[in-house]
């Protein structure tokens, strides 16, 4: 029993090693804080798979959160901050990439697939009517 208690104490100490501190940010107004929260939710972490910098514990995400905070305190607009991030990390860094020559495929491929699906759906219904009419005429010929 004594070894089990020692094991639990050592296990508890290992958990403390992995604890991280919470980022403390100070702003001059609530509006700046709301902007900060919205922006860190909109900007994707370049290191993580599909996480925003607000939800990531990666070192780069922490640096980007600090940079967003600094830019907000320097009176930059949200668009200026997004442009800064896109220039530095590419269109991947924003969850809603802009429509430009590099992202046409990303934006318009779903619509092309939707149009193709509707086309093939309409075409399959047309063929079913033809097949049914042929089957009915063959059945009538057999019954004569």
Q: Report, as an integer, the average pLDDT of 18-41.
A: 77
In this structure, what are the phi and psi dihedrals at residue 94, rounded to the nearest 5 degrees?
-105, 140
Of the candidates 1, 3, 79, 2, the residue with the CA atom closest to the CA atom of residue 35 = 79
Predicted pLDDT of residue 127: 65
The 8-class DSSP code of residue 22 comes to: P
Looking at the chain, the whole-number percentage of residues with pLDDT higher than 90 is 23
> pLDDT grade, residue 67 (50/70/90)?
very high
Higher pLDDT, 7 or 21: 7
Summarize the chain as % helix, strand, coil (round to 5): 70, 5, 30
> pLDDT grade, residue 124 (50/70/90)?
confident
**pTM score, whole prediction:** 0.59
Higher pLDDT, 11 or 65: 65
50: left (phi over 0), alpha (psi -120 to 50) or beta: left
Q: Report, as an integer, the average pLDDT of 51-55.
A: 88
């Amino acid at each position: 029993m004594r070894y089990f208690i020692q094991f639990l104490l050592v296990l508890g100490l290992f958990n403390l090693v992995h604890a991280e501190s919470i980022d403390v940010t100070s702003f001059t107004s609530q509006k700046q804080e709301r902007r900060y929260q919205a922006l860190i939710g909109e900007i994707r972490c370049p290191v993580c798979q599909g996480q925003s910098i607000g939800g990531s514990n990666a070192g780069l995400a922490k640096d980007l959160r600090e940079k967003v905070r600094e830019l907000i305190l320097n009176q930059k607009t949200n668009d200026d901050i997004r442009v800064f991030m896109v220039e530095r990390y590419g269109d991947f860094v924003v969850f809603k990439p802009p429509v430009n020559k590099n992202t046409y495929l990303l934006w318009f491929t779903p619509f092309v697939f939707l149009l193709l699906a509707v086309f093939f759906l309409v075409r399959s219904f047309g063929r079913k009517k033809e097949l049914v009419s042929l089957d009915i005429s063959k059945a009538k010929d057999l019954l004569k």
